[in-house]
A = this chain, B = another copy of it.
């Protein structure tokens, strides 16, 4: 049960990360997302990290890498649901989500994608 579902919500794809990401899962997620973007013509990708209690450099790189792949496929990525403590820890660790947009929750993420007219 180490598979992360990619859910279609309107013009966007939603991924809720709840499990510890190991290398294989992260690579699989990236591949599954790329497939679904092409298959659905989704305009945006929302990655919900509200279940994550820590975002380390591995997860940070993975998010940046997913966003980079999505961008090549003409799709915007928004990371949503970051906990306040996670944001503080990330800054303390010197991590920044370069090239990744963020929003407080799924609703605001969807609004951001609509406002950006991503992929339209």
Contact = CB atoms under 8 A, between A and B. Distances in A.
Interface stretch (A4-12, A66-74, A91-99, A112-120): A4-12
A9 B14 CA distance: 10
Contact of A19 (B10, B18, B52, B81): B18
Contact of A105 (B8, B53, B107): B8
Contacts of A5: 16, 18, 48, 50-51, 81
Nearest to A8: B107
A3 interface: yes
A15 B52 CA distance: 15
A107 B5 CA distance: 14
A22 to B, nearest CB: 13
B1 A51 contact: yes
Contacts of A81: 5, 7
Interface in A1-44: 1, 3-5, 7-10, 14, 16, 18-20
